[in-house]
């Protein structure tokens, strides 16, 4: 009789252990499912940040960028008429002193008030006194925060370096603009310099390619393949002898890395530039 009671007690204990283990397994499965769902949701939200950036080409190096609830212009030239119907800028980036990047007359037609214009020193020295209060000077390698954006000036210059080059090192700025961990690179007038090749974690890159002012499409593609942005957009591709072959650029990039998205936008809508 005592043996039977002992066996019954052991059986009850064993059943309880199994039920407890089953309950634990159920909780673990539910928690794992919940964690997986949260990870998917987080990934989706992170990916969605890229859709917050809208690039509206105006012409050549001039563009309107809508990023979330903010708008900024790059190298505004061409007069007030080219910005008709465009949202007013929260800030402006200017890369260099040449007329296809810096135009005081166009800047004066914009409703700037206290709107900041981020420029290299060489641009600041050439703009008139009535615009000086708007200017924020950024040297190569410097970073400033503005309106929840982190803006870093990247060198832009010709290779090989020389004193009589059209773009000498230290005079102009490319820019990396960062917001919420997402990074946009605007090359300015450059070749595939080490500072571009060494960039990291670029989500969208605008790359110039026009001879004899910057670089040919094959060098541009080589530079892009070195730093591997998620997406690249050729811009500033009108050269001395016409337009660069941006379709060839796309082919070269995707032959080297099929995971890089190459987006072709029309930076010369009138083809009269």
Please state, as a whole number, how many other Cβ atoms lie within 10 Å of the Cβ of residue 257: 13
- Split at pLDDT 50, 70, 90, the class of 47 is very low
Tell me the fold of 49-262.
Metallo-beta-lactamase; Chain A (3.60.15)
Once rounded to an integer, what is the mean pLDDT over residues 47-70?
86
Q: What mean pLDDT comes out for the span 66-74? A: 97
Distance between CA atoms of 191 and 146, rounded to whole angstroms?
28
Q: Which helix (H) or strand (E) holds 247?
A: helix 246-256
Tell me the average pLDDT of the chain.
85
Question: What pTM did the predictor assign?
Answer: 0.81
pLDDT of residue 270: 73
Distances (CA, A) of 123 to 88, 98, 131, 134, 264: 22, 9, 11, 12, 29
Report whether pLDDT(23) > 60.
Answer: no
In degrees, to the nearest 5, what angle opens at C-alpha 19 toward C-alphas 15 and 20? 115
Closest by Cα among 200, 158, 153, 191 to 173: 153
- Two structure tokens written together for 253: 């990039």
For 174-214, the pLDDT digits (tens) are 999 999 999 999 999 999 999 999 999 999 999 999 999 99
The whole-angstrom separation of Cα 118 and Cα 141 is 14
pLDDT of residue 8: 41
pLDDT at 122: 98
Quote the pLDDT of residue 191. 96
Alpha carbon distance 54, 260 (integer Å): 18
């Amino acid at each position: 009789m005592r043996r039977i009671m002992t066996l019954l007690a052991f059986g009850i204990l064993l059943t309880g252990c199994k039920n407890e283990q089953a309950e634990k397994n159920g909780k673990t499965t539910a928690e794992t499912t919940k964690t997986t769902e949260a990870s998917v949701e987080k990934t989706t939200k992170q990916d969605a940040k890229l859709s917050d950036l809208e690039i509206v080409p105006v012409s050549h190096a001039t563009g309107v960028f809508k990023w979330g609830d903010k708008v900024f212009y790059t190298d505004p030239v061409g007069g007030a008429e080219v910005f008709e119907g465009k949202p007013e800028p929260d800030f402006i980036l200017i890369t260099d002193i040449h007329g296809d990047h810096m135009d005081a007359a166009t800047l004066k037609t914009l409703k700037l008030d206290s709107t900041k214009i981020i420029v290299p020193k060489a641009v600041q020295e050439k703009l008139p006194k009535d615009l000086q209060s708007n200017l924020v000077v950024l040297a190569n390698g410097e970073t400033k925060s503005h309106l929840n954006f982190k803006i870093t000036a990247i060198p832009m210059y010709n290779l090989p370096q020389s004193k009589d080059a059209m773009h000498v090192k230290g005079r102009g700025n490319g820019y990396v603009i960062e917001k919420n961990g997402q990074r946009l690179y605007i090359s300015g007038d450059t070749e595939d310099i080490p500072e571009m090749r060494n960039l990291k974690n670029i989500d969208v890159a605008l790359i110039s390619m026009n001879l004899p002012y910057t670089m040919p499409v094959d060098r541009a593609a080589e530079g892009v393949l070195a730093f591997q942005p998620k997406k690249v957009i050729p811009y500033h591709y009108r050269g001395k002898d016409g337009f660069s072959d941006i379709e060839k650029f796309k082919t070269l990039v995707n032959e080297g890395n099929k995971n890089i998205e190459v987006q072709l936008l029309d930076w010369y809508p009138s083809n009269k530039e």
